[in-house]
């Protein structure tokens, strides 16, 4: 069964929805199928020796031989749809990533433009603290960006004045002594999956730290490919104060990039770093004045998005390949310890003290 004329005309219009150049080979094939479908077998004279484009088109059309027009029409329609599918373009012309509207995320604002998948933590009234929903939605967003062929790179930033205040401690406030153990185990599974999504993300990932960062939002930065920060940002991991332990593979990555002593200041003793200190220790690549942060980082991201995407993807894979299996093992060990920590009297008491002090303010 062959498609009708209306389907063929619709396919012609949908070609304009392609977000990227499909390449010369594909364009020649589409041209040949279009000519075969509308004119029939090629009977045109071969173009002159120096008409390289004309010769290429003529050869592609000639190669279809005696393919009948109905078959050519159907092949053209199928090819257009295949190209749209490969680029993740939906019927309305949006890409798969663009189709991820904010309605699909409770805690994120996700947009896509010109090959850049932008993830914004969107709980400004809670300083973008991460709920269990936030963890799951970030996994979903990274998975979407990683699989969408139109996406070159992804960025993560925060809404409002904060980048992220870390784990929302209210995640555990509904727990009772009878349910605490199961909730901790579930939290460990969620965290493990969350960190794994960063370890496995196949494309360049850029952190845009627009304000203070706390806890897991700091530790996970070690798994980004580059991090830029406003000069108003600070970085702190108050694990010991809360009776907890490092996560986000920071127990391995931070000593590697900062050196053991400086990493221990952060992970064991909760030293708060300024943006310049985070830059000096290798966690941040560059620091920008707050009033220029958005403009300067947008310029850089746009420039990076124009680089050959396959080259960047393969290069990232090469850079991470030696550590990838180890990072997963570190993640497993960190999550296992955290599950134990979350159910310890020390951690429970520390969290209770936190909420008691907060209530007095």
Among residues 28, 54, 86, the one where a domain terminates is 86
Looking at the domain assignment, is residue 91 inside a domain?
A: no
Residues 55 and 156 in one domain: no
Would you give the DSSP letter of residue 163? S
Q: Quote the number of domains for the chain.
A: 2
Predicted TM-score (pTM) of this structure: 0.76
Half-sphere exposure of 18 (CA within 13 A, CB side): 18
CA distances for 199 relative to 105, 110, 225, 228, 316, angstroms: 22, 20, 11, 19, 11
Looking at the domain assignment, is residue 135 inside a domain?
A: yes
Residues 309 and 250 in one domain: yes
CATH of the domain at 75: 1.20.80.10
Tell me the residue range of the domain where 47 lies. Answer: 5-86
Among residues 19, 53, 86, the one where a domain terminates is 86
**pLDDT score recorded for residue 178:** 74
Name the residue with tokens 């929805």.
17
Measured CA to CA, the distance from residue 195 to residue 185 in angstroms comes to: 15
Map residue 355 onto helix, strand or coil. Answer: helix
Helix (H) or strand (E) holding 42: none
Looking at the domain assignment, is residue 97 inside a domain?
A: no
Is the pLDDT higher at 49 or at 131?
131
Q: With contact defined as beta carbons under 8 Å apart, do 237 and 220 qualify?
A: no
Query: 1 pLDDT exceeds 60?
Result: no
Query: 65 pLDDT exceeds 60?
Result: yes
Looking at the domain assignment, is residue 66 inside a domain?
A: yes
Confidence of residue 181 (pLDDT cuts 50, 70, 90): confident
Residues 156 and 226 in one domain: yes
Range 247-263 average pLDDT: 97
**pLDDT score recorded for residue 18:** 82
Residues 115 and 79 in one domain: no
pLDDT digits (tens, 9 = 90+) for 9-20: 888 888 888 877
Q: Single out the residue of 11, 18, 30 nearest to residue 87, CA to CA.
A: 18
Residues 68 and 166 in one domain: no
pLDDT digits (tens, 9 = 90+) for 91-143: 666 666 665 554 578 899 999 999 999 999 999 989 999 999 999 999 999 99
Among residues 26, 51, 86, the one where a domain terminates is 86
Tell me the sheet residues that pair with 164.
213
Measured CA to CA, the distance from residue 60 to residue 36 in angstroms comes to: 10
CA distances for 332 relative to 49, 106, 197, 275, 358, angstroms: 64, 28, 13, 30, 32
Residues 70 and 187 in one domain: no
Residues 12 and 126 in one domain: no
**Encoded tokens for 280:** 């000096």
Looking at the domain assignment, is residue 111 inside a domain?
A: yes
Looking at the domain assignment, is residue 96 inside a domain?
A: no
Q: Burial letters for 18-40: b for 16+ Cβ neighbours within 10 Å, e otherwise?
A: bbeebeeeebbbbebbbbbbeee
What is the per-residue DSSP string for 231-287?
Answer: TT-EEE--TGGGT----TTHHHHHHHHH-HHHHHHHHTT-PPEEHHHHHHTTS-SEE
């Amino acid at each position: 069964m062959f498609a009708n004329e209306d389907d063929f005309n619709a396919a012609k219009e949908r070609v304009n929805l392609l977000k990227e150049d499909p390449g010369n080979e594909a364009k020649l094939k589409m041209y040949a199928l279009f000519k075969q479908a509308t004119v029939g077998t090629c009977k045109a004279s071969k173009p002159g020796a120096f008409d390289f484009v004309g010769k290429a088109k003529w050869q592609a059309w000639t190669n279809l031989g005696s393919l009948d027009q109905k078959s050519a029409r159907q092949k053209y329609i199928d090819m257009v749809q295949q190209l749209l599918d490969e680029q993740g373009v939906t019927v309305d012309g949006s890409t798969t990533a663009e189709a991820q509207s904010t309605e699909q995320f409770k805690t994120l604002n996700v947009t896509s433009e010109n090959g850049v998948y932008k993830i914004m933590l969107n709980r400004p009234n809670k300083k973008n603290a991460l709920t269990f929903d936030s963890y799951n939605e970030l996994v979903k967003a990274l998975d979407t960006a990683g699989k969408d062929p139109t996406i070159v790179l992804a960025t993560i930033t925060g809404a409002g004045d904060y980048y992220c205040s870390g784990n929302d401690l209210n995640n555990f406030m509904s727990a009772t002594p009878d349910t605490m153990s199961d909730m901790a185990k579930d939290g460990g599974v969620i965290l493990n999956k969350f960190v794994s999504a960063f370890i496995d993300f196949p494309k360049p990932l850029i952190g845009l730290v627009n304000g203070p960062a706390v806890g897991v939002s700091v530790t996970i930065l070690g798994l980004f490919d580059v991090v830029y920060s406003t000069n108003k940002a600070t970085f702190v991991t108050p694990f010991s104060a809360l009776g907890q332990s490092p996560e986000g593979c920071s127990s391995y990555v931070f000593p590697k990039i900062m050196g053991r002593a400086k990493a221990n200041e952060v992970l064991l003793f909760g030293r708060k770093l300024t943006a310049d200190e985070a830059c000096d220790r290798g966690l941040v690549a560059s620091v920008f004045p707050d009033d220029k942060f958005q403009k300067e980082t947008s310029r850089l991201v746009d420039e990076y998005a124009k680089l050959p995407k396959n080259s960047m993807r393969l290069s990232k894979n090469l850079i991470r390949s030696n550590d990838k299996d180890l990072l997963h093992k570190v993640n497993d060990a960190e999550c296992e310890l955290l599950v134990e920590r979350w159910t310890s009297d020390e951690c429970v008491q520390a969290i209770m003290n936190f909420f008691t002090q907060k209530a007095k303010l």
